[in-house]
Amino acid sequence: MLTVSNLSVQFGKRVLFDEVNVTFTQGNCYGIIGANGAGKSTFLKKSFLEK
């Protein structure tokens, strides 16, 4: 299980995420969808790759 708690990301005055909480459970398939520039890659980087 992977859990993201209280993820907030802001670039200047633009807020991309504000206290996002999500849990990914074992045995399930998940997809992140959205328009170009919506923050999909940023969400993954900030959640799992960057400290």
The mean pLDDT value for 15-24 works out to 93
pLDDT at 50 over 90: no
Extended strands (E) in the chain: 2-11, 14-24
In this prediction the pTM is: 0.72
Q: Which residue has 């969400």 as its token pair?
A: 43
> How far apart, in Å, are the Cα atoms of 38 and each of 25, 28, 34?
24, 24, 6
Residue 12 has pLDDT above 90, yes or no: yes
> How confident is the prediction for the chain on average, in pLDDT?
91
* Local structure of residue 38 (DSSP, 8 states): S
DSSP state of 46: I
For residue 32, the model assigns a pLDDT of 93
Instruction: Write down the pLDDT at residue 29.
Output: 96
